[in-house]
Amino acid sequence: MKYFLYSFIIFCFLAKNALFAQQNKEVADKIIATVDNNIILKSELDARLVNMYYDGQIKKIDQETRCKVLEGLLVQKIMLAKAEIDSVNVEEKTVNNQMDRRFAMLLQQCCGGDASKVEKLYNKTIGDLKNEMRESIREQMVSQKMEGEISKDVKVTPKEVKKFFQEMPKDLKERNVKREFEVSQIVRFPAPNKSQKLIAKAKIDSLKKLLVEGGDFEEIAKKNSEDHVSGAQGGSLGWQQRGSLVPQFEATIFKLKPNELSEAVESEFGFHLIKLHERRGNEFLSSHILIKPNATELDLENETKFLDSLRNKIMLDSIKFEKAAKEYSHDKSTAPSGGVILSDNGSSKNLDDEIDSFVYLVVSEMEVGKISTPKPYRDNTGKMGVRILLLKSNIPPHDLNLKEDYQKVYNYTLMDKKNKAMNDWFIKTKEQLYINVDPEFKDCVFFQDVK
């Protein structure tokens, strides 16, 4: 495959970028390539190389690798430039939602939800980090949208799949498929009881009193808000559009006047104090302080008992696992599909070295068709719950073949054909743009024809 359209998890990129920056403070940055109004910095290329090296995507950083990775960056910038010409863009709300989700993952997985540790690790404010993430995500999403437009009409036939498989080198087929698991889950998060809600409400009311008496909103948010992402920025949620936040929050926002502070507002996340800064039509700039009611051990125990009873019903065939997941699971990402845990590429088959380590520890000891007892579970925001896991299949490592792996071979065939279509597009499109690469890379060969 010709093009190096590498995807990466933003929080890993930032972590390794920060590490690289600390190790290379003396190296001056410079522009190494320009595509119309888009530039590529030396630091951008170096950070991408370091990220890929740590992720095992490349084994060494030599000039050949630098050329290939720079080509990947050029590809992205060309798509961005052409997207600007063709007016292809993504909604800012979508970018912000993706950025908030990924930043929450960074905050939890890197530093246990402690925003001050994140700032210390990267030597940057939360605002600066989120701005970096926002631009990276925006570029990535625009590039993906352009790529989809370019290859949307590419299709493959069964005959092409068979031909592609027959022409694959033998060493790519042998032991090509690692062990895979198909796993489904039913998740339950305990609802806080009335007394816990009263405690949370009392705390939010006490914070409101401090604010009314002249307390600084940003400082109080930083010290007390349990929305750790916005709390680190003094409660700021940035500009949002109507429909992007929970209904209770927005119903309050559109009743407030600029600089007015709300009463306590309850939502599915807890209790909020909301401050409106500015509103422009359906867009608004606001801050909030969030206090979450805590579930007790008894609440968790009750959900464990519920799942244990549900598991018995499934085992007695009183209800199918898929139906139970749709009706009873609290996990919004898996419940609609009957609890199926999908891999990063959207497949129901998860490689053993990519599946969540906790899931792997449980299912690797199970028989196919069995359901685990309720296990503790923490989602990527740190919310505690319990879940049961169904092992639907455990496929051992094997040689790639059309009988068991037709979908994989189909995907390889489609990807190869899309890459050729993309290559043709780049050959044609690069002539329409101003592209300049630093003489340091004069020996690199970019965008060669693919037969």
Q: State residue 155's pLDDT score.
A: 94
Mean pLDDT of 215-239: 88
In a domain, residue 165? The reply is no
pLDDT greater than 80 at residue 320: yes
Q: Are residues 128 and 16 in the same domain?
A: yes
Q: State residue 438's pLDDT score.
A: 92
| CB neighbour burial string for 108-129, b if at least 16 within 10 angstroms, e if fewer | bebbebebeebbebbebebeeb
- Of 376, 371, 400, 401, which is closest to residue 386 (Cα–Cα)? 376
CATH of residue 361: 3.10.50.40
Mean pLDDT of 136-163: 90
In a domain, residue 301? The reply is yes
Q: State residue 101's pLDDT score.
A: 73
pLDDT greater than 90 at residue 75: no
pTM above 0.85, yes or no: no
- Of 380, 430, 355, which is closest to residue 108 (Cα–Cα)? 380
In a domain, residue 99? The reply is yes
Beta bridge partners of 267: 270
The H or E element spanning position 275 is strand 270-280
Q: Indicate the number of domains in the chain.
A: 3
Residue 397 CB neighbours (<10 A):
11
pLDDT greater than 90 at residue 258: yes
Q: Are residues 134 and 15 in the same domain?
A: yes
Residue ranges of E strands in 292-402: 350-351, 375-378, 384-395
Q: Are residues 187 and 324 in the same domain?
A: yes
CATH of residue 134: 1.10.4030.10
Q: State residue 59's pLDDT score.
A: 83
Q: State residue 12's pLDDT score.
A: 45
What's the rounded Cα separation, in Å, for the pair 105 and 13?
Answer: 13
Q: Are residues 374 and 303 in the same domain?
A: yes
Q: State residue 362's pLDDT score.
A: 93
What's the rounded Cα separation, in Å, for the pair 182 and 99?
Answer: 29
Average pLDDT in the chain: 85
pLDDT greater than 60 at residue 387: yes
In a domain, residue 244? The reply is yes
pLDDT in tens, 236-257: 888 887 888 889 999 999 999 9
Cα-trace Rg, the chain = 25
Q: Are residues 343 and 247 in the same domain?
A: no
pLDDT greater than 70 at residue 417: yes
- Of 117, 100, 186, 205, which is closest to residue 386 (Cα–Cα)? 186
Q: Are residues 300 and 382 in the same domain?
A: yes
Higher pLDDT, 118 or 137: 137
Higher pLDDT, 33 or 113: 33
pLDDT greater than 70 at residue 15: no
User: Of 395, 420, 437, which one is at a domain's C-terminal end?
Assistant: 395
User: Of 246, 261, 291, which one is at a domain's C-terminal end?
Assistant: 291
Q: State residue 10's pLDDT score.
A: 40
Q: Are residues 262 and 304 in the same domain?
A: no
Q: Are residues 286 and 313 in the same domain?
A: no
Q: State residue 28's pLDDT score.
A: 57
Mean pLDDT of 201-219: 94
Higher pLDDT, 116 or 283: 283
Q: State residue 331's pLDDT score.
A: 92
Q: State residue 376's pLDDT score.
A: 92
What's the rounded Cα separation, in Å, for the pair 190 and 281?
Answer: 38
In a domain, residue 343? The reply is yes
Q: State residue 447's pLDDT score.
A: 66
pLDDT cut 70: percent of the chain above it: 90
pLDDT in tens, 93-104: 788 777 777 777
In a domain, residue 407? The reply is no
In a domain, residue 172? The reply is no
pLDDT greater than 70 at residue 25: no
In sequence order, which residues have a C-beta less than 8 Å from that of residue 340 and are 6 or more positions away? 182, 183, 184, 334, 348
- Of 289, 118, 120, which is closest to residue 219 (Cα–Cα)? 289
pLDDT greater than 80 at residue 226: yes
- Report which listed range, 25-39, 101-115, 314-328, 399-413, is most confident: 314-328
Mean pLDDT of 391-405: 90
The H or E element spanning position 151 is helix 126-151
Residue ranges of E strands in 69-141: none
pLDDT greater than 90 at residue 208: yes
Q: Are residues 331 and 259 in the same domain?
A: no
pLDDT greater than 70 at residue 260: yes
Q: Are residues 254 and 355 in the same domain?
A: no
In a domain, residue 427? The reply is no
| CB neighbour burial string for 400-428, b if at least 16 within 10 angstroms, e if fewer | beeeebeebbbebbbebbbbbbbbebbee
User: Of 346, 361, 395, which one is at a domain's C-terminal end?
Assistant: 395
Query: Hey, is 403 helix, strand or coil?
Result: helix
Mean pLDDT of 268-276: 93
What's the rounded Cα separation, in Å, for the pair 76 and 66?
Answer: 15
Structural domain of 266: 194-291
Mean pLDDT of 402-428: 88
Q: Are residues 187 and 198 in the same domain?
A: no
Q: Are residues 324 and 285 in the same domain?
A: no
